[in-house]
Amino acid sequence: MHHEELDNSLIPAEHLEKLPNPLLIETISYVDNEGYEWIAGYVLEEGIGKKLKLYKVL
């Protein structure tokens, strides 16, 4: 995803400026025992898959 495609509520602008453009984001979803869904995303370094940053989405 390109920076301009992301909402600032997902990744704050001050963090976004330090990350590659475009971003490769791997998302993770988990539903706990009470039925709540948790979603997070890792920003990955393209080509090698190194995790650069973790962001909680929900």
The model's confidence at residue 32, banded by pLDDT at 50, 70 and 90, is very high
Residue 28 has pLDDT above 70, yes or no: yes
Task: Output the CA–CA distances (angstroms, integers) from residue 29 to 19, 20, 22, 26, 48, in the order listed.
Answer: 22, 23, 22, 10, 22
Q: pTM of whole model > 0.75?
A: no
pLDDT at 24: 85
pLDDT at 45: 75
pLDDT at 54: 56
Task: Output the CA–CA distances (angstroms, integers) from residue 44 to 24, 30, 34, 37, 41, in the order listed.
Answer: 5, 20, 30, 22, 9
